[in-house]
Amino acid sequence: MNLLRWFSSFFGKNKEEVIDPNMKYLIVGLGNMGAKYDNTRHNIGFDVIDTLASEYKLEYKHANLGDVAEFRFKGRVFVLLKPSTYMNLSGKAVRYWLQKKKIKQENLLVIVDDLNIDFGGIRLRGKGSDGGHNGLKNINELLGTKDYARLRIGIGDNFSKGGQVNFVLGKWSPQEQEQLVEVIDHCVEAVKAFGTIGLARTMSQFNKKA
C-alpha cells in the first residue's frame, strides 16, 4: 500500500476504493415507487430492503435510478438498492449500480416476488429464467446473462382467470399480513448469510416451502 493510499484509509477518506471487491455486495429489492404500491405483493422486494435499512438505522440516499443505502456486517459492505425505474425497467438501475460501486456480478442478489411459489415459500437460486417476471426479464436483458443470484419470495396464485395483475398489485390479505413479518425476517437473515457464508450454504439453510 503506497503512502497516499495509507493516509486516505487512516483518515477515513475514500474507504470504498480500498475495500476488497470480493467483500462488496449489491442487494436489490424489486418493486414500484409510490404510495399506491406500498404494502402490495409486487413490492415485497422493497419490504425486505426496508427492513434491513430499519435494522441498521439507515437513511436512503435518493440517487440516480434508485434509493441507496449501505451497511457493514462481518467485514462485508452491503449496498441496498430500491430501483426508481418501476419494475419493468429494473435492469437499468441494477446495471448502473453494479458498475458505479464496482461490484462483481456474483455478488449481486435480487429479491423478487414469485407467483409460482406458495405464499411463505422462499427459493434462493444462483441463476435461472425470469419465470415470467418482467423485472427479472429486464435485468437479464440489460446484464446479458441469467447468471446472478435471486431470492424468490412466494406470493401464491390465489386469483381467478384474468385477475393476475390485480392480485400482484393488490394488498396482502389479513391472514397473509399476520405471517408477513416472519417471512420478511427470514429473507433478511438470508441476505446477510448470502454475503457471509456464500450462496450454496445459504440455499441449504434458508430455502423453504410454504
Q: Indicate the pairing of strand 66-73 with strand 76-83.
A: antiparallel
Q: What does the radius of gyration of the chain's CA atoms come to, in whole angstroms?
A: 17
Active site residue 42: yes
Distances (CA, A) of 65 to 41, 99, 164: 22, 13, 27
Distance CA 60, CA 198 (A): 26
Distance CA 117, CA 114 (A): 6
CB 140 within 8 A of CB 133: no
Q: Give the residue numbers marked as catalytic.
A: 42
